[in-house]
Amino acid sequence: MDLAERLLQGDKRAVARLISMAENHDPEAVEILKSLFSKTGKAHVIGITGPPGAGKSTLTDKLAKAIRKEGKTVGIIAVDPTSPFTGGSILGDRVRMNDLSTDPGVFIRSMGTRGHLGGLSKATQAAVKILDIYGVDYIFIETVGVGQSEVDIAKNADTTLMVMVPGLGDDIQAIKAGIMEIGDVFAVNKADRDGAKRTAREIDMMLDFNHSDWRPPVQMVIAVDNEGIDELLGHLKDHKKHMEDTGKLQQRRTLNSRLEIIDLVQENLMRMILDKSKKEEMINQLAVDVAVRKTDPYTASESILKEI
């Protein structure tokens, strides 16, 4: 039985292997995704992000358990940064999801960013599709960071959940309005700590600048005590429903698809340029030439493009 069939039959090992193949740029994975793409688009894809130490993994764990109580299934993609120096990484999100590990209705996959700028690898998008085909009802993509990676998540998700915690001081101010804008739902975790209400108020104030017809709810939660989780899940569902009712889900998915196509074109172009070792040599030579002012970077890039 080939991988595509096994995936359709719900074989976890096929899911896992396909994600690996996508991570490793195996062309076979692309072919399988092409053939099964029509089966995607059913899961509710939720991006979870926020600053380090906000408790995202624990929150994901609790949300997944709440969903399991409703009899639905969950896929979790936990992304952690790869070391730019060694290419290695330690992916530790499973530590907080140990109870889910053996639940047949849950599939957890840890991924390293593997040097992909922005923190979210292209492979993540493939992993989302694979889990979607596999048939889970919800897919969480959890990623750390404040900045570009949040924007990347929004590209992938139907709903983006921003997790904040009190006590980060000026960090909220530092988070640019652009980042705040991508949050569809906000959670203030560790709500029993000093300053939680203030944090919630500050987020709320910033949301005053939001003039769309969806005002992101701000939910207080204490993830470790499982408090506020059902309410938070309710907000996530409401957001999806709102998006469907207003036709915005279609709009967002169209936009996401457009971005993905452009990304793929860019990536394939780069691959075409860089994959051939001959061109690698050529680039190296051109780099030397530019550095010693024998030529200029503009002419150099044009001569590479002419090669294709």
Partner 1 sequence: MDRPIRVLVAKPGLDGHDRGAKVIARALRDAGMEVIYTGLRQTPEQIVSATIQEDVDVVAMSILSGAHNTLLPKVVELLKVENVDDVLVIGGGVIPDDDIPFLKEKGIAEIFTPGTPTSVTIDYIRANLKRK
Partner 2 sequence: MFEKEKLAQIKESFDSYNAKMEKSLEKRPERKTVFETGSGAPVNRLYTPADIPDFDYMTDLGIPGSYPYTRGVQTNMYRGRFWTMRMYAGFATAEESNKRYKYLIEQGSMGLSVAFDLPTQIGYDSDHPLSEGEVGKVGVAIDSLADMEILFGGIPLDKVSTSMTINAPASVLLAMYIAVAEKQGVTPDQLRGTIQNDILKEYIARGTYIFPTEPSMRLITNIFEYCSKEVPQWNTISISGYHIREAGSTAAQEVGFTLADGIAYVDAAIKAGLDVDTFAPRLSFFFNAHNDILEEVAKFRAARRLWAKIMKERFGAKDAKSMALKFHTQTGGSTLTAQQPENNIVRVAIQTLAAVLGGTQSLHTNSKDEALALPTEDSVRVALRTQQIVAYESGAADTVDPLAGSYYIEAKTKEIEEAAMEYIKKIDEIGGAPKAIDNGYIQQEIMDAAYNYQKDIEAGKRIIVGMNKFQIKEEAPKGLLRVDPSVGELQKQKLVDLRAKRDNSLVQQKLEALRTACQGDENLMPFILDAVRAYGTLGEICGVMREVFGEYQQSVKL
**In terms of CB distance, is 50 or 217 closer to partner 2?**
50
| Residues from 85 through 114 that contact partner 2 (CB under 8 A) | 90, 92, 95-96
The residue ranges of DSSP E strands in 156-217, in sequence order, are 159-164, 185-188
Looking at residue 158, the DSSP 8-state letter turns out to be S
User: Among 214, 117, 243, 114, which Cα is nearest to 127's?
Assistant: 114
**In terms of CB distance, is 19 or 97 closer to partner 2?**
97
**In terms of CB distance, is 90 or 270 closer to partner 2?**
90
Q: How many CB atoms lie within 10 A of CB 116?
A: 16
To partner 2, the closest distance from the beta carbon of 167 in angstroms equals 8
225 binds, among partner 2, partner 1, none (CB under 5 to 8 A by kind): partner 2
Q: What angle do CA 267, 270, 274 make, to 5 degrees?
A: 135
Evaluate whether 178 touches 154 at the Cβ level (below 8 Å): no
212 binds, among partner 2, partner 1, none (CB under 5 to 8 A by kind): none
111 sits in which H/E element: strand 106-112
To partner 1, the closest distance from the beta carbon of 58 in angstroms equals 13
Assigned token pair, 152? 């990347």
User: Among 119, 45, 113, 55, which Cα is nearest to 82's?
Assistant: 113
Rounded CA gap, 220 and 290, in Å? 56
225 sits near partner 2 (criterion: CB under 8 A):
yes
To partner 2, the closest distance from the beta carbon of 145 in angstroms equals 16
38 binds, among partner 2, partner 1, none (CB under 5 to 8 A by kind): none
Residue selected from 224, 273, 282, 290 as contacting partner 2 according to rule CB under 8 A: 224
Binding to partner 2 by CB under 8 A, coded x per residue (else -) over 43-62, reads: ----------x----x----
102 binds, among partner 2, partner 1, none (CB under 5 to 8 A by kind): partner 1
Most distant pair of Cα atoms in the chain: their distance: 67
**In terms of CB distance, is 58 or 124 closer to partner 2?**
58
User: For 259, phi and psi rounded to 5 degrees?
Assistant: -60, -40
58 binds, among partner 1, partner 2, none (CB under 5 to 8 A by kind): partner 2
Residue 190's region, left for phi above 0, alpha for psi from -120 to 50, else beta, is: left
To partner 1, the closest distance from the beta carbon of 235 in angstroms equals 28
User: For 31, phi and psi rounded to 5 degrees?
Assistant: -60, -45
Assigned token pair, 34? 């092409």
To partner 2, the closest distance from the beta carbon of 96 in angstroms equals 6
**In terms of CB distance, is 222 or 249 closer to partner 2?**
222
Point out which residues bind partner 2 (CB under 8 A). 53, 58, 90, 92, 95-96, 224-225
